[in-house]
Amino acid sequence: MNVIRFIKRHACLVSAVLLLVGQASFVCAQQEWLVDFGNNAAQYRGIPVTNPDPNGHYWNSIQPGLLVSNMVDKNNTTTTLQLGWDTPVGTDSYNGPAGDTSFGTPADNVGFTDIDAAALGDLGVKEAAFDFAAGPSLADNRVRFELQNLDPTKKYDLTFYGSHKYSLDATTVYSVYSDSTFATQVASTTLQVMDPTNPVAHNRDKVATITGLSPQTDNILFLQFVGMTGHEGYLNSMEIVAEAAAAGVTGDYNNNGKVDAADYVIWRNSVGTTTVLPNDPVGGMIGDAQYNNWRSHFNQTPGAGSGLGATAVPEPASLSLIVFGLLGLISSSRRPR
């Protein structure tokens, strides 16, 4: 198995500026990317998808371990999305859906790839299923990578296809984390890459999906995959879908679906900075404009009108007293009786 080490690169300043001025290629209500974890560019026993594929879609056939910039969506539109790696990663096709690929060339062997193309949907392409990224068979088999330059106004669905015969772990765990420390897990799913009762029977018709993901720190999704008990995990291909998130309420700065005192605290802690707050149509330096928007939408929820008629809006001074009063009440309630 070929193992590649990569020094992580973060999203470039140019991409960030493009996102701010609305010129990036995230313009559709829904956009999809297809990723094939293998190609023939100095990779061990790999092969790329021929674009377009039989479904008329375009793929990013990547060499695991290397930064991939300006990924194309499945309609062949170039975008700012990029994929970078945080750990070593192994690459191969041996004992994947094509079986023994130790003889001949990948082109000779790709025809032996055994998958249920209809069941796998957009991922049901032989060249994409043929090769895979995997744990590097070192002390730590966790493989970590990032999807960078995501659109903070959208939600993302990730679909994973993993398949391998004779695996030490029949199940691979795919997880998403909040930042590059990989300490806080946001979501997780599992997939059997082979039949645990029959190691020659690889996964040919099942995928695993995580839906509704919001971009995390620096508009990145931090991904990890590994075998359930710590052995190698497998990732042959992946589909990324971006959809416009439901409209939020102006002034809901913690994005929890309502405008309340907690949003004031976020505003107060952000005053004088250029922090990007959710549901802030003004942007720029945080100040009076954001406070006024919070005040005018206080007690409002999605689809509801202004709550001014039902609930009086606390002024900054009295709100501070409310916050500290609540803290005091919580503190006093914990004292021994």
151 and 220 share one domain: yes
Residue 253 lies in a domain: no
- At residue 118, what is the residue type? A
Domain assignment present for residue 255? The answer is no
Query: 118 and 57 in one domain?
Result: yes
Most confident segment among 52-56, 133-137, 247-251: 52-56
Give pLDDT, residue 153: 87
State whether 240 and 269 are in the same domain: no
Strand partners, 33: 240
Q: Is residue 63 part of a domain?
A: yes
Same domain, 285 and 141: no
Asked if 316 and 236 sit in the same domain, the reply is no
The domain boundary, picked from 209, 244, 279, lies at 244
Same domain, 128 and 84: yes
Residues 304 and 197 in one domain: no
Instruction: Give a yes or no: residue 135 inside a domain.
Output: yes
CB proximity list for 198: less than 8 A, separation 6 or greater: none
Residues 91 and 236 in one domain: yes
More confident residue, 299 or 32: 32
**Structural domain contains residue 212:** yes
Tell me the β-bridge partners of 4: 89
pLDDT digits (tens, 9 = 90+) for 252-270: 988 778 899 998 999 899 8
Domain range for 273: 261-333
pLDDT at position 255: 79
d(CA 286, CA 151): 21
What is the average per-residue pLDDT within 135-155?
Answer: 93
Do both 321 and 172 map to the same domain?
Answer: no
Residue 334: half-sphere exposure toward Cβ, Cα within 13 Å:
5
Our CA dihedral for 18, 23, 28, 34, rounded to 10 degrees, sits at -50
Is the domain of 72 the same as that of 177? yes
Q: Per-residue pLDDT tens for 72-131?
A: 999 999 999 999 999 999 999 999 999 999 999 999 999 999 999 999 999 999 999 999
Residues 309 and 282 in one domain: yes
Q: How far is CA 295 from CA 5, 40, 160, 251, in A?
A: 51, 58, 43, 8
Give yes or no for a contact between 4 and 29, defined as CB atoms under 8 angstroms apart: no
- Enumerate residues 6+ apart whose C-beta is below 8 A from 249: 257, 258, 259, 279, 297, 300, 301, 302
The pTM score is 0.71
Sign of CA dihedral 274, 276, 278, 281: positive
For residue 169, being part of any structural domain is answered with yes
Contact 161/207 with Cβ under 8 angstroms?
Answer: yes
47 assigned to some structural domain: yes
In this structure, is residue 250 part of a structural domain?
Answer: no
Based on the domain organization, do 60 and 115 belong to the same domain? yes
> What's the pLDDT tens digit per position in 4-28?
544 344 333 333 333 333 433 333 4
Number of domains in the chain: 2
Which of 185, 218, 244 is the C-terminal boundary of a domain?
244
